[in-house]
A and B are shown apart, each in its own frame.
Chain A
Amino acid sequence: MDHSSLAGRIFRGIALALVLVFFMFPIVWILLMSFQTNEQILRIPPRILFEPTLANYEALISGQLRTAAGNLQIEFMRNLMNSFVLSSASVILALLLGVPAAYAFARFKFRLGETIAFTLLSFRFAPPLLVLLPLSLYYQQLGLNDTYFGIVWVYQLIALPLILWIVRGYFEDISPDIEHAYRLAGHSWREAFTRIAVPLAGPGIAAAGLLSFIFCWNNFVFALILASADKQPVTVGALAFVTASGIQYGQIAAAIVLSVTPTLLLALYAQRYLVEGLSLGAVKG
């Protein structure tokens, strides 16, 4: 497939430019908006050159929003912190539970093994509300409603299948002969697991952990149903913020920028792992 003709190269150049504009423009534009005052945003025609202001971010960080109806207290920083706590705790728990299970599925052919693996996988495809709506009633009875623990628990629905299937693929790619030799040297399976298998599958575990962190962070519906204001992550918090702040568009843009920055930075930093994890999770298992 050699497109060396001039027309072909021009066509490909234009097509790529359009693709870049479509996918990058929203991010750039919202970033620019977040440094504008409301007056600058409402100006028509919109300008690309403007005097940037940090007022939107200051308002968000201090939690004091000036609106037409007076000062409003909004703890958006608390939402940001909640996102960190919920996503990190969920990924750590999912790694502790998922890596040994992935190892078991990869190394042992055992009765029920495939059944268990598929049950876990099928969570990936069940409508989340089907579980969440009855769960919200149960949680109210159990007192788990609106607790970090309760939310981290359901986040396992996102993180666990992902970790299980990606890490399993990595374990399957490692030859069991290495562990076999190590075991013949008189070590227990536990040592073979922690000193040989886990380090060798390290990149896969990292990829799976990163991906599930991002997916937990980006989740919206779980916390929408199970968390009230002070436990909500940024995805739900940002929507509530839009309703509360009304026409403070610059602050909305700044809130959006703060909500997506952690995952986007993580994605850029670990892009190689991410692409690998996404393709493995989807194609190779």
Chain B
Amino acid sequence: MSMAQLVETEAAPRRTKRWRGRLLPYLLSLPALLVCIAILVPFVTAAVYSLQRYRLNLPYLRGFIGVDNYIDFLSDPAFWNTLKISLVYTAVTVIAELLLGLGIALLLRRPTRFHNAVSIMLLLPLMTAPAIAALMWKLMTNPSFGILSYLVGLLGVHDFKWASDPSTALFTVVLVDVWVYTPFIMILLLAGLRSLPRQPFEAAALDGVPASFVFFRITLPMLAPYIITASLFRLLDSIQQFDIVYAMTQGGPGDRLMVFQVQAYLEFFQYTNVGRSAALLMILWLITNILSNIFIKNWLRLRARAHGHA
């Protein structure tokens, strides 16, 4: 008998009590919902703004213009640049973090005291604020005294300008992203690896199956749900990247790192073009929404399995 049934049967004799029993779950979740609904209002507003000509500096021009803001993007090279940079940034960070995180999780697989100590230390970058992490790397890559610039110089590469050179800027912010977020993937995959059943591995060891076969035919398939969840989590965060890019270069040099949210921020505060900024964010929301629908489906399947109703 579930709590809901209990509440109902117990309260059955009196109608008012029964009502209270039915209402109870709503009453419990209502405050949380109200707070969030109040925050949902601006979301609807943003959708409306995206259909308006709305510039903070020219308020008298404000008016409904349908999907013109969106149509303008089609012929706007700045928009395509933003889309391209965002997708490249997302793809590169997620793939790099996945490979590195998987590698580290495999290295730390056996739960020895040393391995556990290492995995705890790797929590530290993840718990560093990304904006602050960007400042740390900025100090380390400073052209005049940065330790990394110095070390690269020792290797014979001079004039390596890290984030201030258009050709290496993306590499530099990706490096910071990898530093901060690889531990996230590592933690999830390590938890996954350590929860795998032992029998298949013992059987393979008995039969003398080569390690590469074990990895590709047993470990990877069994780990797949964890890999999917971890990378989708990162995918959704990465495509919305703001903190690291803004703190490091504010989207520069030039428009080299104009990811969606940085572009929208500048569109709003620098060019005071609210309509365009909102339209840009709506497109980003659409992309994330498609990705997160895939994600939530996978997640629910995993949850069901974790709770044993699969």
Contacts and interface: CB of A to CB of B under 8 A. Distances in A.
A135 B45 CA distance: 9
Contacts of B264: 129, 133
A224 B226 CA distance: 34
A179 B10 CA distance: 14
A284 interface: yes
A138 B236 CA distance: 27
B140 interface: yes
A1 B202 CA distance: 9
B6 to A, nearest CB: 6
B3 A220 contact: no
A166 interface: no
A176 B3 contact: yes
Contacts of A131: 39, 42-43, 46
Nearest to B281: A130
A134 B24 contact: no
Which of B1, B128, B243, B277: most chain A Cβ within 10 A? Answer: B128
| Count class of interface residues, chain B | 35 or more
Interface string A84-102: 0000000000001110110
Contacts of A157: 36, 39
Which of A127, A176, A235: most chain B Cβ within 10 A? Answer: A127
Given A101-B32, A133-B281, A238-B132, A249 B139 contact: yes
Given A45-B150, A189-B24, A108 B3 contact: yes
B92 interface: no
Interface string B6-34: 11001000000000001011101101110
B288 A126 contact: yes
Given A156-B36, A160-B32, A107 B285 contact: no
Which of A97, A126, A131, A221: most chain B Cβ within 10 A? Answer: A126
Interface in A98-136: 98, 100-101, 103-105, 107-110, 112-113, 116, 118-123, 125-135
Given A129-B281, A156-B36, A239 B135 contact: yes
A54 interface: no
Contacts of A123: 36, 39
Contacts of A278: 184, 187-188
Interface of A: prevailing SS: helix
Contacts of B243: 220-221, 235
B40 to A, nearest CB: 8
Contacts of A135: 39, 42
Nearest to B260: A127
A217 B129 CA distance: 8
Given A125-B236, A218-B128, A220-B129, A26 B118 contact: no
A252 B135 contact: yes
B251 interface: no
Nearest to B109: A1
Contacts of A97: 31-32, 35
A23 B125 contact: yes
A283 B226 contact: yes
Contact of A267 (B24, B123, B135): B123
B32 A130 contact: no
Interface residues of A, number: 101
Interface stretch (A59-67, A69-77, A198-206, A255-263): A255-263
A137 B275 CA distance: 13
A20 B24 contact: no
Contact of B145 (A42, A169, A180, A271): A42
A122 to B, nearest CB: 7
B6 A183 contact: yes
B74 interface: no
Nearest to B123: A267
Nearest to A163: B32
B125 A30 contact: no
Interface in B235-255: 236, 240, 242-243, 246-247
Contacts of B113: none
Given A1-B214, A26-B179, A260-B128, A282 B229 contact: yes
25 contacts: A16-B107, A23-B122, A23-B124, A26-B137, A29-B140, A44-B145, A108-B24, A109-B4, A110-B22, A123-B39, A126-B43, A131-B39, A133-B277, A134-B43, A160-B32, A180-B6, A238-B131, A242-B135, A249-B139, A249-B145, A268-B124, A271-B123, A275-B191, A282-B229, A283-B191
Interface of A: 1-2, 12, 15-16, 19-20, 22-24, 26-27, 29-30, 33, 41-46, 96-98, 100-101, 103-105, 107-110, 112-113, 116, 118-123, 125-135, 137-138, 153-154, 156-157, 160, 164, 169, 172, 176, 179-180, 183, 189, 214, 217-221, 224, 234-236, 238-239, 242, 249, 252-253, 256, 259-260, 263-264, 266-268, 271, 274-275, 278-279, 282-285
Q: Which 10 A-B pairs have the closest CB atoms?
A: A218-B129, A104-B28, A134-B42, A108-B25, A101-B29, A220-B131, A101-B32, A267-B127, A134-B45, A104-B25
Interface of B: 1-4, 6-7, 10, 22, 24-26, 28-29, 31-33, 35-36, 38-43, 45-46, 49, 103-104, 107-109, 118-125, 127-133, 135-140, 142, 144-145, 147, 150, 179, 182-184, 187-188, 191-192, 201, 205, 211, 214, 219, 226, 229-230, 233, 236, 240, 242-243, 246-247, 260-261, 264-265, 268, 274, 277-278, 281-282, 284-285, 288-289, 292, 295-296, 299, 302-303, 306-307
